[in-house]
Structure 1
Amino acid sequence: MHLFYQPEPVSYLTEDDSRHAIKTLRLGVGDAIAVTDGHGNRYSAVITQADNRRCSYRIIDTQSTPSRPFSVQICVAPTKNSDRIEWFIEKAVEIGIEQITFFFGSHSERRVLKLERLEKIAIAAMKQSLQSHLPQLDEAVSFGEMLKTLSDSSVGDKQRFIAHLPDDEPVDHLAKAATTGGHYVVLVGPEGDFSEQEIKQAKDAGFQMVTLGANRLRTETAALTACQVLNFINV
């Protein structure tokens, strides 16, 4: 069944989804569809008006998907090539992620981020993978601002990690450092890595240094690897 996204409590699809349903998929009155609000609710529905600008539907049944018993938040610096961070978002949403936070570090080469486009990619990935929860995407802020937010008492129960392999001390792999059933935050730096000051700030804020393996990874690869590892240990 085709899954569409409508975050508002209305009985019609968005203009983009209406056009896709009627013009691309050639659905018509009486055809069955599924609609999610991105908050865990999925509605079984039938089309009542096949309008390619405002396709109306009638809800037949409602199902609620509970949140996962663990959560993954990846904090990542936008890559110089925007295609790479878009690829990460698409794949991370398909695998399973609750929150993606963007930050600008000392060594970041990209200083502008178009969140609207990234949200569209996340929505498309959610629909493609037939999920009912849309991850939260946060506006990019400075590294210091992000740490201040993550140090808030409301996120104090999260397991905090920074993906960085120092030259002078052994550190655990993320798969070993993380415990199952947790709420995780992982920091992944830009192409130029974290600065020494940022690493110190993260450690002072309670972040544990971890490795993602012996190979040097691109920013988007490291972010996706962290996401996959945390999903895997909770299977």
Structure 2
Amino acid sequence: MTEAFIPDHELKLLRRLLADLPQLAVDLGDTRTKQARLGEVIRRRQQHRPSEQPLPVHLGAAAVADELRNELVGWVRLVCEQRAVVYEGLADTGSLARWLARHVYSLAITEGAGECYRELRAIADQAERIVCPPAVAIVVDDAKLTRARAMALSASGIATLAQELGEEYRNLTRRRVHVLKEAGEIDPVPGPWRPDWPMLFAVGEVLDSHLRVPIRDRHAKSCWRKTCGQATQGGR
């Protein structure tokens, strides 16, 4: 019986990882494309300042995408050379990952394959941090929160302020403020105001109502997608 160089428990993890890599490659491509489009928009706005041209691609995404593909090419080549298997498929990351998933047992008995999972996992972790970067922890002191609660702001102003007040207010969007108003949980600050001025709300009242009133699952999931850079997949 041929000795396997990848233990059974790690082989299961490897199969799962290989199954996820095609979609991860697509997400990396989307990240590169979005950055390129943003760069084009900014370039058009800065034509009068040619020395300040932004880079047209997300360099991190591009580098990790190339590293991932090259890593897969190396493992495919090793399997083909040692196991006398012929690779028939495209040279893109998704095709390479799917081929290795189908030939994972051949890979397991290929000399040197013991490092395959760890090396692919390390690159995949880099890719995931680029596609969906971790949230930055926000530290809010009591004085800052007290000052914020005493203010009167529009729904847009409250939504902007909420992003500086920590995780529990992450889903306090402009739409959320209007939902609380329509539900009778908050009222605008009494006027009189000019007709073209937006309604103002007492920030402390809005913060308290936001924590007290549950958020509908659909709305909460939408807000989470936006924080992960996936608003185009159904965020509202």
* TM-score normalised by the chain length of structure 2: 0.23
Structure with the largest fraction of helix: 2
Higher relative strand content? 1
Normalised by the length of structure 1, the TM-score is 0.23
